[in-house]
Amino acid sequence: CIAVADGASESYDSQRWAKLLVEAYVHDQSVSAAWVADRVQEYVSCADYPALSWARQAAFDRGSFATLLGLELAPNGTDAEVLAIGDSLAVHVRNLAKQNSFPFSQSEQFDARPQLLSTISANNSFV
pTM given for the model: 0.89
Report the share of the chain in percent with pLDDT over 70: 100
Cβ atoms of 14 and 86 within 8 Å: the answer is no
Identify the pLDDT of residue 9. Answer: 82
Kindly tell me the burial class for residue 55, based on how many C-beta atoms sit within 10 Å of its own C-beta (0-12, 13-18, 19 or more). exposed
Looking at every residue in the chain, the average pLDDT score rounds to 92
Rounded CA gap, 105 and 90, in Å?
Answer: 10
pLDDT at 101: 87
Q: How far apart are CA 99 and CA 121, in angstroms?
A: 36
| Cβ atoms 67, 5 nearer than 8 A | yes
C-alpha pair distances (Å), 120 with each of 44, 63, 66, 97: 9, 6, 12, 40
Residue 44 φ then ψ, to 5°: -65, -40
Residues 66-110 have pLDDT tens digits of: 999 999 999 998 899 999 999 888 888 999 998 888 888 777 777
Binned at pLDDT 50, 70 and 90, residue 37 comes out as very high
